Amino acid sequence: MTSELITSKELIKMDPVFGQHSFDDHEQIVFCNDKDTGLKAIIGIHSTVLGPALGGTRMWNYKNEWEALNDVLRLSRGMTFKSAITGLDLGGGKAVIIGDAKTQKTPELMRRFGEFVNGLSGRYITAEDVGMTTKDMDTVREVTPYVTGISESKGGAGNPSPVTAYGVFMGMKAAAKFQYGSDVLEDKNVYVQGIGNVGEALVEHLVNEGANVTISDISQERLEEVRNKFGVTIYGGNDIYSEAMDIYAPCALGATINDETIYKLQAKIIAGAANNQLEDENKHGGILKDRGIVYAPDFLINAGGIINVYAELENYDRQEIMRKTENIYHTTLEILDHAKVNDITTHMAALNIARERIATRKRENSK
Ligand SMILES: NC(=O)c1ccc[n+]([C@@H]2O[C@H](COP(=O)([O-])OP(=O)(O)OC[C@H]3O[C@@H](n4cnc5c(N)ncnc54)[C@H](O)[C@@H]3O)[C@@H](O)[C@H]2O)c1
């Protein structure tokens, strides 16, 4: 597929990996190929300073390898900062499998992928992400111990999505406290974009709190299912970004805050589960700040899932998982205050604190 994009002469000029815009001094990038199963995967290890690089595997029908590489570079970097800010002794990694999870995912392919993970001897530990299930992780577990997110019946912590949703809810409440002086979300108009595993669980928390919830998704079936369950409103327009709302909760894919959407946004708060919500974290983070829109950094408030899988490595129980996840409320408030005091974006405030923790550990490790 690459040959359609560039000629070999151009390839030399382009620095295909280390020269990419999204390359951020990643420690290791592993390209995995298996002819028999059709596996084409990339594992990105951004940092192992705080511990083994843990992050999920995404299976997606990428248009080309550049898209897959860009995704794994961005996602693995995000995991480094997510674990650092959450206080976990984990580095940042992620994997992508190129292909359609509905038609191309087989147990053989998952096992072969697991063997590649195993070959890294624990520098990278995988888990589920978009296109993956706990059952897939159980299959990976057959060939490597370096996997989390396996089913409870096999000793795992089970589905991380409800925990992620609870953390997002906590982060959203903290953002409301900061923006409105109260964290009560009753009567607030909240738009949840993407009502998959996390989005649906978030809708439940919001409905229980008395918020006015509007949902959007590309799947009409999901929309009807969630509406029938919770009595929420299905978004009927064609430009969600221009709608009058209090809170925008992106829970589908990343980069929805971009040049096209950012000046249309009417929300006073952005708090959702999607990874890498800002297409350009400096530029778009800055515009949100200037527009007075409180952005609860994605990698901070969607950390419930990693807290959940970390329990499998550290052997802590559900109560501790929920306590750590609830703490996202306090961390979010701290970050929002830190950003205000220092007149920087909330994203930068969170990054600075995460980077400081990594730098301190690096100094300790080198002693
Ligand atoms: N599952 C977790 O624990 C977890 C943890 C951290 C971050 N995240 C992130 O949160 C997001 C959601 O995760 P999930 O596990 O719920 O995924 P999911 O695949 O279960 O749900 C995603 C939903 O978004 C919908 N969608 C896709 N494109 C859309 C669009 N353009 N507009 C509206 N809806 C759209 C899909 O139809 C689906 O219903 C992802 O970005 C994921 O990386 C998830």
What's the confidence (pLDDT) of residue 12?
A: 55
CA-closest residue to ligand 1 atom 40: 274
What's the confidence (pLDDT) of residue 253?
A: 83
CA-closest residue to ligand 1 atom 27: 252
What's the confidence (pLDDT) of residue 201?
A: 98
What's the confidence (pLDDT) of residue 6?
A: 52
What number of H helices and E strands is found in the chain? 13, 12
Catalytic status, residue 13: no
What's the confidence (pLDDT) of residue 16?
A: 86
Q: Which stretches within 58-216 are classed as H helix?
A: 65-86, 107-118, 134-141, 161-180, 197-209
What's the confidence (pLDDT) of residue 155?
A: 86
What's the confidence (pLDDT) of residue 5?
A: 52
Beta-carbon contacts of residue 146 (< 8 Å; ≥ 6 apart):
52, 117, 118, 120, 121, 122, 124, 125, 126
Which of the following is catalytic: 94, 105, 173, 324? 94
Report which residue type is found at 166: Y
Residues with CB under 6 A from ligand 1: 129-130, 160-161, 164, 193-199, 216-219, 222, 251-253, 273-275, 302, 305
CA-closest residue to ligand 1 atom 31: 218
Cβ(222)–Cβ(243) under 8 Å? no
- Work out which ligand 1 atom sits closest to the CA atom of 253: 41
CA-closest residue to ligand 1 atom 18: 196
Stretches where the chain sits below pLDDT 50 are 1-4
What's the confidence (pLDDT) of residue 248?
A: 98
What's the confidence (pLDDT) of residue 284?
A: 97
Enter the pTM of the model: 0.90
* 194: phi then psi, degrees, rounded to nearest 5: 100, 105
Per residue, what are the HEC states of 83-112? HHHHCCCCEEEEEEEECCCCCCCCHHHHHH
Distance 211 CA to ligand 1 centre (A): 21
